[in-house]
Amino acid sequence: MLALFLLILLVFNSQNLVDCMNDEGYALLSFKQAINDDPEGSLVNWNTSDETPCSWSGVTCKQQKVVSLSIPKKKLNGFISPSLGSLSQLRHVNLRNNKLFGSLPFQLFRPQGLQSLVLYGNSLSGSLPFDVGKLSYLQTLDLSQNFFNGSLPISIIQCKRLRTLVLSQNNFTGSLPDGFGTSLVALEKLDISVNRFSGNVPSDLGNLSNLQGTVDLSRNLFSGSIPASLGNLPEKVYIDLTYNNLTGPIPQTGALINRGPTAFIGNPGLCGPPLKNQCDTTASPPSSIPYLPSDFPPGDAGGKGAKRRGLSKGSIIAIVVSDVIGICLVGLLFSYCYSRVCGMRKGENGYGSDKKRKERRECLCFGNDESETLSENVEQYDLVPLDAQLGFDLDELLKASAFVLGKSGIGIVYKVVLEDGRTLAVRRLGEGGSQRFKEFQTEVEAIGKLRHSNIVNLRAYYWSVDEKLLIYDYIQNGNLATAIHAKPGLISFTPLLWSARLKIMKGIAKGLVYLHEYSPKKYVHGDLKPSNILLGQNMEALISDFGLGRLANIAGGTPTLESNRLPSEKLEKRQQDYAPLEAVKVNSPSNIGCCYQAPESLKMIKPSQKWDVYSFGVILLELITGRPPIVQVDTTGMDIVHWIKLCIEEKTPFIEVLDPYLTQDGDREEEIIAVLKIAMACIQSNPEKRPAMRHVLDALERIGVSSK
Backbone phi, then psi, for 663, in 5-degree steps?
Answer: -65, -25
The verdict on whether 354 is a catalytic residue reads no
Asked whether 151 and 126 are in contact (CB, 8 A), the reply is no
How far is residue 252's CA from residue 275's CA, in Å, rounded to a whole number?
12
Asked whether 290 and 695 are in contact (CB, 8 A), the reply is yes
DSSP for 527-582, please give it. ---GGGEEE-TTS-EEE--TTHHHHHHHHTS--HHHHTPPPHHHHHHHHH--PPBP
Q: Select which of 38, 191, 527, 639 is catalytic.
A: 527
Number of Cβ within 10 Å of residue 239's Cβ equals 22
H helix runs in 364-408, sequence order: 374-380, 394-399
How far is residue 427's CA from residue 52's CA, in Å, rounded to a whole number?
44
Judged by DSSP in three states, 114 sits in coil
How far is residue 17's CA from residue 20's CA, in Å, rounded to a whole number?
5
Backbone phi, then psi, for 60, in 5-degree steps?
Answer: -120, 130
Question: If residue 180 lies in a helix (H) or strand (E), which one and from where to where?
Answer: helix 180-183
Termini Cα distance of the chain: 99
Residues in CB range of 501: below 8 A, 6 or more apart: 623
Backbone phi, then psi, for 238, in 5-degree steps?
Answer: -100, 125
∠ CA 494-500-505, rounded to 5°: 125
How far is residue 189's CA from residue 187's CA, in Å, rounded to a whole number?
6
Residues recognised as catalytic: 527
